[in-house]
């Protein structure tokens, strides 16, 4: 999904280019953490009850579904559940 306009994308690239490597790493870490929190909110809106491994797997699936196949995500979930129990 890409809802960023070309103008905003250029501005973002210019801002990031002006940062030091340490600043970029810090900013990326904060952006990732924000994305994870937003994904957790989305998961909880669909089902307010997941906790622990169920919540982690649902958030991971939501965050990574565009880059990983359903088969891979299903296999990963099966493996995580089998190692837990």
Nearest one of 61, 64, 66 to 46, comparing CA atoms: 61
Distance CA 8, CA 18 (A): 16
Nearest one of 47, 63, 48, 58 to 81, comparing CA atoms: 58
Between 72 and 4, the more confident residue is 72
pLDDT at 70 over 80: yes
End-to-end CA distance of the chain: give it in Å, rounded: 35
pTM for the full predicted model: 0.72
pLDDT tens digits, residue range 35-55?
999 999 999 999 999 999 999
The encoded tokens of residue 63 equal: 């965050």
């Amino acid at each position: 999904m890409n809802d960023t306009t070309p103008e905003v994308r250029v501005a973002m690239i210019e801002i990031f280019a002006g940062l030091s490597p340490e600043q970029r790493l810090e900013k990326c870490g904060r952006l990732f953490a924000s994305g994870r929190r937003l994904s957790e909110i989305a998961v909880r809106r669909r089902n307010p009850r997941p906790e622990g491994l169920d919540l982690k797997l649902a958030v991971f699936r939501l965050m990574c579904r565009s880059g990983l196949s359903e088969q891979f995500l299903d296999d990963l979930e099966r493996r995580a559940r089998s190692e837990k129990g």
